[in-house]
Structure 1
């Protein structure tokens, strides 16, 4: 299948597929006699895997490390799990930061009339002086 077909199938842009190949996140894609990439099921699975890991917030660098471990002939289970644990910790930290911001904004909304409005008026008065 062509890159454009793989793009439609996976929901990953053609530019991103080429980038994944260049960065080694997916194996080198075989080319036909005309020089066009010929993508098979193995590549589709790797594109989909990379897409899911990127959606989970994994950096290109971490994903490359993980993929290199997968492609290695040795059993790298412990190292792969360590990368995944680190990713989970990063995502949990981001979630906590987002939850803090959400809580802060909800507090501001809940106390808008008795706190925010007054604070905004004070700021306006200071700016007008």
Structure 2
């Protein structure tokens, strides 16, 4: 399939696919006799993986580091697992921060009338002075 079809299939823009290839996040894509990229399922899986990791907050630098470990001919299982573990920890921290903010907003919504009444009473009191 060509880049446009791969873009539709993965939900990743054609520019991003080209960037991923240029930056080494996906393997170099074979080209047909006309010079157009011919993307196979292996590349689609790599594009999808990169998209998922980026959506989860993994930096380009960390993603490239992980992919280089995967593509290396040596067994880098320990390094790969360590990098993934670090990413999970970072994502869990972001999740916890987001959950704290959600909980705080829900608290404010649940007590909105109470807070508003108190605020309005304070304003009226200030106006009387």
Query: Structure 1: 5+ residue runs without aligned partners?
Result: none
Separation of aligned partners in 2, 1:62 and 1:90: 12
Q: TM-score, normalised by structure 1?
A: 0.86
Which residue in the other structure is 1:99 paired with? 99
Hey, what's the Cα distance between the residues in 2 that align with 1:124 and 1:54?
50
- 1:43-122 pair list within 5 angstroms: 43-119=43-119, 122=122
Aligned to 1:37: 37
Q: Does 1:16 align with 2:11?
A: no
Indicate the RMSD between aligned Cα atoms, in angstroms: 2.2
| Residue deviations 1:33-71 (CA, integer Å, cap 9, x gap) | 222111122211211221222222211111000000001
- If the length of structure 2 is used for normalisation, what is the TM-score? 0.86
Structure 1 runs of 4+ off > 3 angstroms? Answer: 120-126
1:122, distance to aligned residue in structure 2 (A): 4.2
CA contact (8 A) 1:2 1:36 kept: yes
Instruction: Quote the offset at 1:121 in angstroms.
Output: 6.2
